[in-house]
Structure formats: C-alpha cells, structure tokens
C-alpha cells in the first residue's frame, strides 16, 4: 500500500503530542495518518505555514448560498429572509441543485472545510415525487463527491408549516406527509463511497409535530441527529403557548436528545434547557455569521461549554463561508455579551472548529496516528497572518489564507486553487445567475 508523506513547516498537534510543533512529517496510508514525527528532515510534499486538522462545517443548507448579498436591500426580518429562501427553493431541481451544491461544496473545501453536515429538507418537486424519491439527496452526494468533501447527509423531517399549521405550497416540497413515510424514504438512500454518511434531522419543533418526534428519534438511534433549537424567541413563545414547555423540554420528552444529537443555534435557552442538554450529552452547533446576519441573537456558548456541552460550528445560510471567521466570532460574540476578553482558549476554538464527531466522523479532526488524513495548510506570510503567533491563527487568518487542503489523504486544494473544479468563483456565478434568471 503506497505511503504519502506531507512535511509541514508547522503543525497543530494534539496537546498529548506537544501542541504546535515545527518540521512535522506526516505519513498517510489509505487515507489515514500512520505516523506523526516532529523535527523531521524535509521530505515529501511541503505544506507551508501552519497545518491544522481539517475543519468541520457542521451545519449547512447548500442552496442558501444563492441568497448571499441578495437579501439585504429591503431590510426586513428573519421571516422576510425566509420568504426569499422559499422563492429560491421553488426554482431548484436535481440537476440545478447538483450544479449549485458542487460549486458551494467547492467553496467550502477552498476555505479549509473537509466535511459538511448538510441539513437537507428540499426533497420533492412542486407536485408528486421524483422517479427516484431521493433524487435531491443523490444530487447532493454527487456534488460532494465532485468537490472532494466528506458529506453527512442529514435527511430532514419537515411536516408542518408551524404549530398546527399545514405546509404551504413551497413547504410541501419539504414534506413527506408523515414521519413513517419520511423514515421509508430516508432509509432507502444508499450512500456510495467512503466519504458519504447518512444522518437525520428534525427541522424544528415548529415543523415536526410532537407526536412525530419519537419516530424520527428512533430512526436516528445509531446516526447523528440534528435539530434547529430555539433560534428565534418567537419559536419559544409559540412552543410554550402550544405545549407549555420549551422546545428543549419537548425534544427531551420525545427522546430526541442524547450524545448523538446536536442542537443547532441553541440561542435562546433557559438555564434549565442548558442543564437538560448537559444531562443528556447533547451537543450544540453555533453558526455565528448566520446568527448575526439574521439578527438571531448571541447564544450562551461559554455557559454551554462550562456545562460540558460539546460545541461545533457551521456556516448554515452561507452569508459567509469562512471557518476562521466562525471560530473568531464565537469568541468575539462572547466578548461583546460579557464585556470580558479571552473567553475561549485557542485550543478550545480549534476543538469547536474541528468537531467532525458532531456529524458522525469521530475519527477525523486530529493530527494523530489513526485519524483520517484531513490537513489544512494556512499561510503565515500573508497580509493578515504575517507576524502572528501561530496559535493566534483563529484571531487573524481568513479563508483566503488557506493554501493546501488534503481530504482523506488526497490533495483537493493546492496553492488556493481547487485541483478538480478549477475556477469555483465562475461556477458559483454561473449557477446562481441561472437560478435568478428563471422567470
Ligand atoms: Zn439551519
């Protein structure tokens, strides 16, 4: 079996291997790291600057990328943004979604993301079903394969337009009609290849009636289960009015919280909700650039982490795709809210940014023998990064400073360029332009 060697000017190793080290030789066999040797002579492929483990994008809706920079002119609220997102959803079919998602996943890899949890709810055509009821899932899997990124397809159950509200015309594209029918379709999807896995999602307590929650939770017994939780105060108020409980309490009673569950956003939680997440081992995924774009608020990241809740990060609506900015915003939002600095250590920001386990890849996210060979070389000689201390990379770098990205041992990005897709900017411009040109 061939062995590939990457030689890093510097690499951010786990604390047990000494943290940030110089002249690190990393041997890779069959997509896995087999040895890590600091202070090694230069050999193999050189990775410049600081090499960090592949970064995890734990919350994505790929098609929202087409709304970037198009949802601000009129101001508006979260709910008017959602109307724009629905207009976009109406225009997509498996072919156009494949081309859009290929470009979006290509953008993600260029920023250093080596896995994505795609929270996928755009399942069906405007009427009826596709010949393959999982045609949209297959389009996303093909797009991820083209782009060279690990994909966890979080097949999302979405049945209602709100508490006791039937889905509207667009939302019917998201709905399978009932939870058992959703299970049958989701279970029929067969991921192909080593870089695709299947997970599940509850869109929200608004979109999945309480009596259907246990069915989704049962399907996800051995898979990651994600759920939008308490993103907006209105969701909490409606849930309290309808059920007399917070969304977290409702999910807990339905058996939907646990070590495989990730609460996405977790912005407006009570202290009791935080305790419930802790007791059940549930994780929390913050999406700071989206949460600020949509005016959601600042969630209790430090409080959750102090309670032992594992944190992860996602680019969600893709108003921004930049894992360095997400990690930085986790810290900066805390500073603005708490009036104190240094709320997360550099190691804690790295842990949140590399939490592939949150989307079902526990063997990825550390530069250590036995782990998946996902490596991101960040230049330390750019305008933004020249002169920084290497462990300040999340305070200073942007996605533009990523030079090389290795996914499962293969070079997918070299010198800031996607080696398979070429000009990803042009792909984005073409596919997004076509969508909005449709009548
Ligand atoms: Zn979302």
What is the tens place of the pLDDT at every residue in 189-221?
Answer: 999 999 999 999 999 999 999 999 999 999 999
The tens digit of pLDDT for each residue in 246-257 reads 999 999 999 999
How far, in Å, is the centroid of ligand 1 from the Cα of 229? 10
Q: How far is the CA of 119 from the centre of ligand 1 (A)?
A: 7
Q: Check if 265 is active-site.
A: yes
What's the gap in Å between 6 CA and the centre of ligand 1?
36
Q: How far is CA 424 from the centre of its chain?
A: 19
Q: What mean pLDDT is predicted for residues 32-42?
A: 98
Q: Note the Cα 175 to chain centre separation in Å.
A: 22
In this predicted structure, the answer to whether residue 75 has a pLDDT above a threshold of 90 is no
pLDDT of amino acid 226? 98
pLDDT at 413: 98
Q: How many whole angstroms from 391 Cα to the centroid of ligand 1?
A: 30
Output the CA 317–ligand 1 centroid distance in Å.
7
CB 269 within 8 A of CB 278: no
* 117 alpha carbon – ligand 1 mean position (Å): 11
Average pLDDT of the residues in 279-307: 96
- Give the C-alpha separation, 329 to 173, whole Å: 34
Give me the catalytic one of 64, 120, 123, 265.
265
Is this model's pTM higher than 0.85 or not? yes
- 144-160 pLDDT, tens per residue? 999 999 999 999 999 99
| Sequence-separated (6 or more) residues with CB below 8 Å from residue 17 | 36, 38, 367, 368
Cα(219) to ligand 1 centroid in Å equals: 21
Distance 227 CA to ligand 1 centre (A): 9
Stretch (H or E) spanning 235: helix 233-243
Q: What is the pLDDT of residue 79?
A: 81
3-state SS assignment for residue 273: helix
Q: Are 206 and 160 in contact (CB under 8 A)?
A: yes
Residue 80 scores a pLDDT above 90 = no
Among 71-80, 305-314, 328-337, whose mean pLDDT is lowest? 71-80
- Quote the tokens at residue 384: 């933004």
The burial of 161, by beta-carbon neighbours within 10 Å (0-12 exposed, 13-18 middle, 19 or more buried), is given as middle
| Mean pLDDT, the chain, integer | 96
Q: Give the closest residue to 285 by CA, choosing from 251, 252, 262, 256.
A: 262
pLDDT > 80? residue 36: yes
Whole-number pLDDT of residue 78:
80
Catalytic residue among 155, 273, 296, 316, which?
Answer: 316
Mean pLDDT on 402-413: 98
CA 220 / ligand 1 centre spacing (Å) = 18
**38 φ/ψ angles, rounded to the nearest 5 degrees:** -70, 165
Could you tell me the distance, in angstroms and rounded to a whole number, from the CA of residue 339 to the centre of ligand 1?
A: 28
430 is catalytic: no
116 Cα to the center of ligand 1, angstroms:
13
DSSP labels, 66-131: GGTTSS-TT---HHHHHHHHHHHHTT--HHHHHHHHHHHHHHHHHTTEEEEEEEE---S-SSS--S
Cα of 226 from ligand 1 centre, angstroms: 10
CA–CA gap between residue 81 and residue 154 (Å, rounded): 23
Beta-strand (E) ranges in 213-352?
225-229, 261-265, 283-286, 311-313
pLDDT band at 71 (very low <50, low <70, confident <90, very high): confident
| Residue range 90-100, pLDDT digits in tens | 999 999 999 99
Nearest to 149 by CA among 220, 95, 197, 92: 197
Is the pLDDT at 142 greater than 90? The verdict is yes
Q: Are 49 and 9 in contact (CB under 8 A)?
A: yes
Could you tell me the distance, in angstroms and rounded to a whole number, from the CA of residue 394 to the centre of ligand 1?
Answer: 23
C-alpha–C-alpha distance, residues 197 and 189, integer Å: 10
Q: Predicted confidence band at 83 (pLDDT cuts at 50, 70, 90)?
A: confident
Mean pLDDT of 386-413: 98
Distance 228 CA to ligand 1 centre (A): 6
Gap from CA of 230 to ligand 1 centroid (Å)? 11
Structure token pair of residue 82: 């959602």
Q: Report the relative pairing of strands 402-407 and 410-414 from DSSP bridges.
A: antiparallel
pLDDT category at 403 given cuts 50, 70, 90 is: very high
Displacement of CA 154 from its chain's centroid (Å): 10
């Amino acid at each position: 079996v061939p062995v590939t060697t990457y030689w890093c000017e510097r690499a951010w190793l786990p604390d047990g291997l000494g943290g940030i080290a110089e002249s690190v030789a990393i041997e890779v066999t069959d997509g896995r790291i087999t040895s890590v040797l600091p202070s090694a002579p230069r050999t193999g492929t050189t990775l410049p600057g600081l090499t960090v483990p592949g970064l995890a994008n734990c919350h994505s809706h790929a098609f929202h990328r087409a709304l970037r920079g198009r949802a601000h002119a009129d101001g508006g609220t979260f709910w008017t943004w959602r109307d724009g997102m629905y207009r976009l959803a109406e225009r997509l079919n498996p072919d156009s979604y494949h081309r859009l998602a290929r470009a979006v996943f290509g953008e993600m890899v260029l920023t250093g993301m080596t896995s994505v949890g795609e929270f996928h709810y755009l399942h069906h055509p405007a009427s009826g079903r596709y010949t393959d009821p999982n045609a949209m899932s297959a389009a996303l899997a093909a797009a991820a394969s083209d782009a060279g990124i690990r994909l966890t397809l979080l097949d999302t159950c979405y049945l209602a337009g709100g508490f006791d509200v039937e889905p509207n015309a667009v939302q019917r594209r998201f709905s399978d009609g009932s939870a058992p029918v959703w299970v049958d379709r989701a279970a029929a999807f067969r991921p192909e290849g080593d870089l695709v896995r299947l997970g599940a999602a509850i869109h929200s307590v608004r979109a999945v009636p309480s009596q259907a929650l246990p069915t989704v939770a049962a399907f996800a017994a051995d898979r990651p289960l994600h759920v939008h939780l308490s993103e907006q105060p209105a969701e909490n108020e409606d849930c309290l009015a309808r059920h007399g409980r917070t969304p977290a309490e409702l999910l807990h009673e339905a058996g939907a919280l646990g070590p495989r569950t990730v609460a996405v956003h977790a912005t407006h939680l009570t202290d009791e909700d935080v305790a419930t997440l802790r007791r059940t081992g549930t994780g929390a995924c913050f999406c700071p650039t989206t949460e600020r774009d949509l005016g959601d608020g600042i969630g209790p990241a430090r409080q959750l982490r102090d309670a032992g809740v594992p944190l992860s990060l996602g680019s969600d609506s893709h108003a921004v795709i930049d894992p360095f900015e997400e990690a930085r915003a986790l810290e900066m939002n805390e500073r603005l809210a708490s009036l104190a600095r240094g709320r997360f250590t550099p190691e804690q920001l790295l842990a949140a940014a590399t939490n592939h386990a949150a989307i079902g890849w526990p063997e990825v996210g550390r530069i250590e023998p036995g782990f998946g060979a996902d490596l991101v070389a960040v230049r330390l000689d750019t305008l933004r990064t020249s002169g920084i201390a290497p462990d300040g990379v999340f305070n200073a770098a942007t996605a533009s400073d990523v030079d090389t990205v290795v996914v499962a041992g293969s070079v997918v990005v070299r010198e800031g360029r996607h080696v398979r897709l070429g000009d990803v900017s042009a792909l984005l411009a073409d596919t997004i332009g076509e969508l909005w040109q449709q009548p």
